[in-house]
Chains A and B, each alone.
Chain A
Amino acid sequence: MFIAYLTTLLSTAYKVPGEIDPQKSFMELDVDSLSLAELGAHLEDELGVSVEEEELSAVTTVAELAELLEARGAVIPA
């Protein structure tokens, strides 16, 4: 569920081209540090979970972030 949410967000708001492999890190997907900071703030605003800077770094993969959101009990807004 969170993988689909994140890949959609990355495709639309962050313009990551093509199909997104969730096993890839943000560095491999060319998501820069400013975008990552913005993404962290967005997740806090929208999903109501705290994501620390070390949990969302260039080497974090999309799947790892999705797991973390799930573990924190994030809720995707309707």
Chain B
Amino acid sequence: MSGPGNGRPEVVVTGIGMVTPAGADTATSWKAVCAGLPAAAADPRLAGAPVDFSCAVTAFDAEASLGVEARRMDPFTQYALAAAREAVADAAPADGDWDPDRVGVLIGTAVAGLGTWQEQARRFAQRGARGVNPLTVPKAIGNIAPATVALEVGLRGPALGVATACASGTTALGLALDLLRADRCDVVLAGGTEAVVSPLVSAAFDRLQALSRRRDDPAGASRPFDRRRDGFVLGEGAAVLVLERTAAARARGRRPYAALLGYGESSDAYHLTAPHPEGAGARLALRRALDDAGLAASDVAFVNAHATSTPQGDAVEAALVADLFGPDTPVTSVKGVTGHMMGAAGAAEAAFTALSIDRGVVPPTANFEEAGAGVPEIDVVHGGPRRADLPYAVSNSFGFGGHNAVVVLGRP
């Protein structure tokens, strides 16, 4: 360790854009997350599915936000583009501040355009090949969110899709950090997106016993770390962060929200869907992220947890947090409000972490009442937002397949 950043060029967050179940923009989402208002509710799209509620994006009008071109985009691309536009507007570069050839776009997704495939499969079954829309492939493929952002915003650096399941958004941030440190880009729009709330996906996750079945109380269903948690709630949305080197942000007079100080990743190499019981892979990713940032675990003032409200996942993460950071480090999971935004989750949570650092506020874990069912006593912030001085924070993401990704953020 040689101190924060290990002497490399510091990278900062200068713009944030979001479309989440908590709101169609960053300000609305942040406010709802701080208020601890769960977004989960019965979802008409899931009528008849075994689990018929979700954390849905409800306040977003694609055509009003994106114009007629929105029809050519699957919702996962619509969310990503809206978030990217908000993030760029927020970063507010003046004409000539950014060389478009040197701006990259990295946007992760776990599943991509499944809804488009489902709709076209239905049409194919009814009408044969002629029923299939010619835009099916360019709407549904996994890289099309970053490609569309590059096209619509006019950015000619690398545009990459990233797929590490529910860690995708965080992986995108880590790879963006690499591109900026290596001077392969001046600016990167990095984030994640997901839009797969459908009866098929609900059924598929339910068959894995991964979803909460609290049908009589959807608002109480996503309850990370709580003793009575019984699974996650399907969420959707996108988040995009504008990342650039500190010197460039300073030169154009933009005050950053936070610095992106480090990234760590690992693979469990243990099981297709279950986390390693001792969190060995997650620990390795956390260690690597802290080493990358040049920090010790004791420097970390806040953990933005992955905790999705599943019995096993939350217990493993809580035990790891207790062991690495001690029982007194504030921990929160915004998924009590947003549900599990899957490929978008890591980006949204890193964005919320940046806002926590900027504002000195840790949002509460909605629905948390008491630890238990394998979750040890840790300081889960609940009941309301907490004021705190946050020099350094980590944001964890884990995905099916054993992907672990962690970012370290700090005061710029």
**Residues of A at under 8 Å CB distance from B?**
12-13, 15, 34, 37-38, 40-41, 44, 50
Contact = CB atoms under 8 A, between A and B. Distances in A.
Contacts of A50: 130
A13 B134 CA distance: 16
Nearest 9 Cβ contacts at the A-B interface: A37-B134, A13-B68, A41-B133, A41-B134, A38-B134, A38-B135, A12-B68, A15-B68, A34-B134
Chain B: interface secondary structure? Answer: helix
B68 A34 contact: no
Chain A binding surface, main DSSP class: helix
B130 A44 contact: yes
Interface of B: 68, 71-72, 130, 133-135, 138
Contacts of A13: 68, 71
A34 B135 CA distance: 8
Contacts of B133: 38, 41
7 contacts: A15-B68, A34-B134, A34-B135, A34-B138, A41-B134, A44-B130, A50-B130
Given A12-B68, A38-B72, A38-B134, 15 more contacts: A13-B68, A13-B71, A15-B68, A34-B134, A34-B135, A34-B138, A37-B134, A37-B135, A38-B133, A38-B135, A40-B134, A41-B133, A41-B134, A44-B130, A50-B130
Contacts of B71: 13
Contacts of B68: 12-13, 15
A12 B130 CA distance: 25
Nearest to B69: A15
Nearest to A44: B130
A15 B68 CA distance: 9
A40 B135 CA distance: 12
Contacts of A44: 130
A50 B72 CA distance: 22
A19 B130 CA distance: 32
Contacts of A41: 133-134
A44 B197 CA distance: 29
B121 to A, nearest CB: 16
A15 B130 CA distance: 25
Contacts of A12: 68
Contacts of A34: 134-135, 138
A41 B134 CA distance: 7
A15 B133 CA distance: 20
Nearest to B133: A41
Nearest to A15: B68
B182 to A, nearest CB: 35
A15 B72 CA distance: 13
A51 to B, nearest CB: 10
A44 to B, nearest CB: 7
A48 to B, nearest CB: 12
Contacts of B135: 34, 37-38
Contacts of B130: 44, 50
B379 to A, nearest CB: 54
A13 B70 CA distance: 10
Nearest to B132: A41
Nearest to A39: B134
A78 to B, nearest CB: 21
A45 to B, nearest CB: 9
A50 B129 CA distance: 13
A34 B134 CA distance: 8
Instruction: Indicate the member of B68, B134, B138 with the most A CB atoms within 10 Å.
Output: B134
A40 B134 CA distance: 9
B102 to A, nearest CB: 28
A13 B68 CA distance: 6
A17 to B, nearest CB: 13
Nearest to B71: A13
Contacts of A37: 134-135
A52 to B, nearest CB: 10
A68 to B, nearest CB: 17
A33 B12 CA distance: 42
B138 to A, nearest CB: 8
B136 to A, nearest CB: 10
